[in-house]
Chain A
Amino acid sequence: DAMVIQNPRYQVTQFGKPVTLSCSQTLNHNVMYWYQQKSSQAPKLLFHYYDKDFNNEADTPDNFQSRRPNTSFCFLDIRSPGLGDAAMYLCATSITSPLLGNEQFFGPGTRLTVL
């Protein structure tokens, strides 16, 4: 089945130690998103790639970076995680099609713990 895959599902890191979360998709969608979701809150968009074009949300901290080496993969790099960065990180994809109406397809998420 076509899907969005996130690895790892659970990640523990130490305060200030860089960490990379990965997302891959078999849907061949041209848009990929990274969200941060804290407990009992809505997902907060960090950035997205429209094809190869990177779009950063204005309030996304510089501590967060992203890479998209090809259509299928996208990475979230947190350069110096702080305790406040502990959250669920969600990857999503979409395709520019009027039939799908901007529907986003979500992965299962990576739960990040910062010690």
Chain B
Amino acid sequence: AQSVTQLGSHVSVSEGALVLLRCNYSSSVPPYLFWYVQYPNQGLQLLLKYTSAATLVKGINGFEAEFKKSETSFHLTKPSAHMSDAAEYFCAVSEGGYGGSQGNLIFGKGTKLSVKP
């Protein structure tokens, strides 16, 4: 069975500092991996995704993530935090197939990012 673990339910950084949000997954098949961001009272917006192409994935708003199979990790980073990055971030995994339940996303519990001025 697939699962996702996000280390740290709450991360606080200063504006301009490095953002690192951790995500580890387990999957018995090659996974698809996603990072979503959620602002208060809004839906989830895709930041980036890994679908078995390049292991270093660049997303929107300056975020990137690296797929490391040996470490079963997909950590999210941004070199310099901005106040507007304050939000909740969810890592998710789905099976490499598609259609039916194979397309379902398994979410981590989320990490709330705070950015201090």
Which residues of A are interface residues toward B (Cβ below 8 A)?
A: 4, 6, 31, 40-43, 45, 48, 50, 53, 55, 88, 90, 92, 94, 96-98, 100-109, 111
Contact = CB atoms under 8 A, between A and B. Distances in A.
B86 to A, nearest CB: 15
Contact of B34 (A48, A55, A103): A103
Given A40-B110, A41-B109, A98-B98, A103 B42 contact: no
Given A40-B112, A42-B108, A101-B32, A31 B45 contact: no
Interface residues of B, number: 30
Contact of A108 (B42, B50, B109): B42
Contact of B103 (A40, A90, A102, A108): A102
A103 B34 CA distance: 8
Contacts of A4: 43
Interface in B64-117: 88, 90, 94-95, 98-105, 107-110, 112
B55 interface: no
A40 to B, nearest CB: 7
Nearest to B99: A96
Nearest to B93: A102
